[in-house]
Amino acid sequence: MCGIVGYVGVNLAKQELIDSLKKLEYRGYDSVGITILNSSLETCKAPGKISELESKLPEIDGYTGIGHTRWATHGQPTEQNAHPHLSGNISVVHNGIIENYHQLKDELIEMGYEFKSETDTEVIAHLLHLNYQQSRDFHTAFRKTLKLLEGSYAVAAVCEDIPDEIIAGKKNSPLVVGLGDNCNFAASDITAFLKHTKDVIFLEDLEIAQIQKNDVQFFDLEGKPVEKEKTRVEWDLEDAEKAGYEHFMLKEIHEQTKSVYNTFAGKLSELDGSINLDELNLTKKQIRNLNRIELIACGTSYNAGLIARYLFEQLAGIHTNIDTGSEYRYRNPVFCEDDDVLSIAISQSGETADTIAALQSLKSSGCNTLAITNVIGSSITRDADDTMYIKSGPELGVAATKTFTSQLTILYLLAVHFARVRNKINTDDSRNFIRALKKLPGNIQKILNSKDTIRECAEQFSDVSDYFFIGRYTNYPVALEGALKLKEISYIHAEGYAAGELKHGPLALITDNTPVVAIATPGHTYDKTLSNIMEVKARNATVIAVAEEGDHEINKYVDIVLRVPETEELLSPILSTIVLQLLAYYTALARGCSIDKPRNLAKSVTVE
């Protein structure tokens, strides 16, 4: 995830910015840059690590500057795309996604602005320049610019004409001001300046900070002064990296309100129910002609693929197969001459050896290939014909959480897009779907608000040695994912089953000491799931149901109910999975496990 810093003080800004950027390295990044406000703007950027920037940085005097670590979302991690972005005598760094940047960019190009990067951020620099030319007042220009932006942003900017000052503002992306001694900071997180000060002021959305070395003023977007309270944080550096959460996994679970939003931001058009997947090179004709999709993935990504199979078949009417990378590569799949196959490889890291090998094999069989990944420029993107990025930000916990829900989100978008192109759903249906998608971040927040109930449940069963997870239809992969998450971080043996399969064997293992988690959200298999719940109840199992808020019927059948908000049947896996992520997390916590780095596991599995 990108990181912003701004420094104004009495020390050389160059060293202060480099030190602060290093403190943000834990967030993950793939390019870096700084602008120092001397008598002119001195900017230096580099793809790769901060050390690469340091090795090319000239001596620069100057006591004010802004810096950025970029985690690519729009365009490759190149020097051109690295921040800061410049327009005339103005330099800008930005975190977030500007949803209306296409439209703004077209307008600016028409006015004669030239774009040097592929980023959404560059529109902010040019808008700021344009507005400054018109008003000749940098603060007015900054406010006017922020008003034009849709989406999320934390922005810091400097202007050559205004020495010793940084201006910063935010909406839906964090920004905090650090109050030092003879120096002040702006940053996307406290770690950036913690060694200088623990006195901070958090900006609220649509607030602006005007930062000088001995003074900070706050305003709203109309320019009216805002009174802000100073907070003293008692975090040490490690706490601050985790934003106060005990583990990265818990932080990443909480980030899902944001990461899911980032995945769909700018892609939904409620007006005509269309999905804008500009980055997809597949033509409408190719989409119409498809007669099969082959999904390839491993682990959690495979579980996302299992859900996608239902989506592509049900929504878009395309026959869909799925296999794990490690199995596909040793099969001898049969292709017919008139096959028109799209192969989709799903991998959060983009580096999983088995998935990449299977994708290469599908490509050599003549399939069109599409990679869905979180990491720009990862190996899989070089092999695939086409790539879609899930934009969930770096995930540092080994257990995949936010990348799973973002994978699902992009797969929903793809399935609805295919369905539209193939005339399988009408405008009203896709509009409803878009509305439901837009409600997801709020619904995820509701689940996070109920985490104490999930924690109590987890603690109650943290001593058991076996757990079962059951579900039908799209809740079957949710059950698999719930079991995978639990075994991975708590080391409890857990099995995920299609609920209808229990009676074909595993029922023999059910006792009064095997909790069974039943994903029982509303849908066409709900009644059947209730029957399966009764089967395990008859064997004295304790049943924990994941059920919808308004479902009171379920209380009659189960021992504990963990609630998810109401949503579309096809979207409910995203919500149910978050409940199961929290269940796994709190179980592992109660057992004192190493949650972020579980034994025997790695974040990227680059070996066969």
Residues designated as active site: 2, 603
Give Cα 424 distance to the centre of its chain: 29
CA dihedral (504, 509, 513, 515) positive or negative: negative
- Residue 554 in contact with ligand M6R, rule: CB under 6 A: no
Whole-angstrom distance, CA of residue 233 vs CA of residue 384? 46
* Stretch 318-357: interaction string toward ligand M6R, x if CB under 6 A: -----------------------------xxx--x--x--
- CA dist., res. 545 & res. 562, Å (int): 6
Shortest separation between residue 572's beta carbon and ligand M6R, angstroms? 20
C-alpha 597/C-alpha 248 separation (Å) is 10
Binding to ligand M6R in span 350-409, by CB under 6 A: 352, 355, 398-400
Which of 337, 390, 383 is closest to 362 using CA atoms? Answer: 383
**Smallest separation, CB 484 to ligand M6R (Å):** 6
Q: CB-wise, 132 or 248, nearer to ligand M6R?
A: 248
Question: Based on CB atoms, which residue is closest to ligand M6R, 19 or 252?
Answer: 252
- The residue (of 30 and 488) whose beta carbon lies closer to ligand M6R is 488
CB of 287 to ligand M6R, least distance (A): 25
Q: What is the DSSP string of 363-385?
A: HHTT-EEEEEESSTT-HHHHHSS
* 297 vs 295: CA distance, rounded Å: 7
Contact 120, 189 (CB under 8 A): no
User: Which residue, 399 or 579, has its beta carbon nearer to ligand M6R?
Assistant: 399
Using the contact rule CB under 6 A, the part of the chain among 118-126, 295-303, 503-511, 512-520 near ligand M6R is 295-303
Inter-CA distances, 184 with 3, 161, 212, 407, 476, Å? 17, 20, 7, 39, 52
Question: Which one-letter amino acid corresponds to residue 345?
Answer: A
Instruction: Give min distance, CB of 258 to ligand M6R, in A.
Output: 20
User: Could you give the 3-state DSSP secondary structure of residue 191?
Assistant: helix
Closest C-alpha among 187, 236, 174, 173 to residue 216: 187
Q: Which of 298, 341, 470, 583 binds ligand M6R (CB under 6 A)?
A: 298
Nearer to ligand M6R, 268 or 345 (CB): 345
Instruction: Give the tokens for residue 49.
Output: 């690590």
Three-class HEC string of 410-475: HHHHHHHHHHHHCCCCCHHHHHHHHHHHHHHHHHHHHHHHCHHHHHHHHHHCCCCCEEEEEECCCH
**Separation CA 203–CA 117 (nearest Å):** 29
Ranges within 588-607 binding ligand M6R (CB under 6 A): 601, 604-605
CB closer to ligand M6R, 180 vs 350: 350
Q: Which residues contact 325 (CB under 8 A, 6 or more apart)?
A: 296, 297, 298, 345, 352, 353, 354, 355, 356, 357, 358, 359
Return all residues near 598 (Cβ < 8 A) that are at least 6 apart.
398, 399, 488, 489, 491
Cα 47 to Cα 581: distance, rounded to the nearest angstrom:
34
What is the smallest separation between the CB atom of 374 and ligand M6R, expressed in angstroms? 8
CB closer to ligand M6R out of 105 and 402 = 402
Smallest distance, ligand M6R to C-beta of residue 248, A: 13
Nearer to ligand M6R, 400 or 541 (CB): 400
Residues touching ligand M6R: how many (CB under 6 A)? 16
Contacts of 437 (CB under 8 A, 6+ apart): 264, 268, 409, 412, 571
Q: How far is CA 243 from the centre of its chain?
A: 16
In the bound state, the residue with its beta carbon closest to ligand M6R is 299
Helix (H) or strand (E) holding 90: strand 90-95
Nearer to ligand M6R, 352 or 525 (CB): 352
- Determine, following the binding rule CB under 6 A, whether residue 305 of this chain makes contact with ligand M6R: no
Q: Least distance from C-beta 328 to ligand M6R, angstroms?
A: 13
Distance CA 437, CA 24 (A): 31
Task: Single out the residue of 521, 525, 527, 526 nearest to residue 572, CA to CA.
Answer: 521
In the complex with ligand M6R, the residue whose CB is nearer, 197 or 348, is 348
Q: Using the rule CB under 6 A, which residue among 191, 301, 430, 521 binds ligand M6R?
A: 301
Q: 6, 154, 128, 157: which is closest to 67 by C-alpha?
A: 6
Window of 183-191, 293-301, 358-366, 576-584 that interacts with ligand M6R by CB under 6 A = 293-301
Number of Cβ atoms within 10 Å of the Cβ of 346 = 33
Minimum distance of ligand M6R from residue 57's CB (angstroms)? 34
Of 300, 361, 368, 443, the residue at the interface with ligand M6R (CB under 6 A) is: 300
Question: Within positions 471 to 510, which residues make up the interface with ligand M6R, using CB under 6 A?
Answer: 488
Q: By rule CB under 6 A, what string of x and - marks binding of each residue 107-146 to ligand M6R?
A: ----------------------------------------
Q: 243, 485, 62, 430: which is closest to 496 by C-alpha?
A: 485
Compute the least distance from the CB of residue 343 to ligand M6R, in Å: 15
β-partners of residue 276 are none
Query: How far is it, in rounded angstroms, from Cα 24 to Cα 43?
Result: 19
Q: Smallest distance, Å, CB 352 to ligand M6R? A: 3
- Residue closer to ligand M6R, measured from CB, 20 or 409: 409
Choose which of 62, 273, 299, 471 interacts with ligand M6R (CB under 6 A).
299
One DSSP character per residue, 487-503 reads: HHHH--EEEEEEGGGGG
- Distance of closest approach, residue 74 Cβ to ligand M6R, in angstroms: 22
Of 90-98, 292-300, 447-455, 565-573: span binding ligand M6R (CB under 6 A): 292-300
- Window contacting ligand M6R (CB under 6 A); options: 194-202, 294-302, 494-502, 533-541: 294-302
**Residues of this chain that bind ligand M6R (CB under 6 A):** 298-301, 347-349, 352, 355, 398-400, 488, 601, 604-605
